[in-house]
Structure 1
């Protein structure tokens, strides 16, 4: 395999994009570094040299997905509804984000992955509360409805608009319960 000389940052971004595409489909256990290398147009040993291991590369991809979710939240109005809309928009624009997050949860049998994904999950809960002022129950409700949105997007369900309306209804209920 002939590798074109590219700046390190460009090469790294290309590998991460290739890894995201592969991990989104086949997860940590099912993805071969050779498949990522072929997609990125780089040698398998070069990936190992740059990232150390398949698990480390996987975690970089998972962290990048969580980073994009947090960035979408940071850019939204500070309400649960606006954060939800920003998340759905992200899932619609970048389908692999939801798939990679689901793959991160699916790989939680691995101790290192579980600890890293747990930290990111808890960080997301904290960010939602910080940005919106929501209480613990509202944040958990928001995350649960977000999971429905993630699964709906991953499965490309035809009634996804109904799920969006349902999510808004559930969030309204959680907010109404908080006011009593």
Structure 2
């Protein structure tokens, strides 16, 4: 056996490990509250290595935000192209990977920072366009779907005991936005 220490990870694996560690830390404490030292400790690397790889905490935060939106888009791409099916896919994603919703919420919370606001706005609008493209839903139904998703995100993040973030409630909300609905 060699006493040379642990094997060096390839750069891509090291980068993925940092993003995974940052995902957990940013989900918990946001852009302003997260220390790069905490991410470095979780990833098992040095703080200067993170700065070397990402440049700044803000840039790393944006990488994590983009990765969260990528996971949402992947869940939608794998679902049947209907709003109810996308809603189910999103709820399943939140249940399987709770940091996704928290990171999205942290992205909104950090929107006072101009580069963060621009990046989150772009991803938000792109996701809305993707939902419309996948489902054929009009702008009102997409906005209602997004609003419902935000309620589901908050309900899941807060682990509300009597939350109404089930798919039946979502379908009811989407039905309210249907202009063809009889009153």
TM normalised by structure 2 equals 0.93
Equivalent residue for 1:90? 93
* Structure with the higher helix share, 1 or 2: 1
- Report 1:67-146 matches (<5 A): 67-146=70-149
Contact 2:175 2:181 in 1 (8 A): no
Does residue 64 of structure 2 align to residue 61 of structure 1? yes
Larger radius of gyration: 2
The superposition leaves residues 82-121 of structure 1 with CA deviations (integer Å, 9 ceiling, x where unpaired) of 0000000000000000000000000000000000000000
* Aligned equivalent of 1:10: 13
Match of 1:172 in 2: 175
State the number of aligned residues: 177
Of 158, 163, 166, the residue aligned with 2:165 is: 163
The alignment yields a C-alpha RMSD, in angstroms, of 1.4
Deviations 1:49-75 (A, max 9, x none): 000000000000000000000111111
Q: Which runs of 4+ in 1 moved over 3 A?
A: none
Q: Which residue of the partner structure matches residue 32 of structure 1?
A: 35
The structure 2 residue matched to 1:19, chosen from 17, 22, 40, is 22
Per the alignment, in what secondary structure is the counterpart of residue 49 of structure 1? helix
Whether the 8 Å CA contact 1:28–1:58 is kept in 2: the answer is: yes
Offset at 1:179?
5.7
Taking a change above 3 Å as real, the CA distance of residues 54 and 4 of structure 1, as seen in their structure-2 partners, is farther
Where in structure 2 are there 5+ consecutive unaligned residues?
none
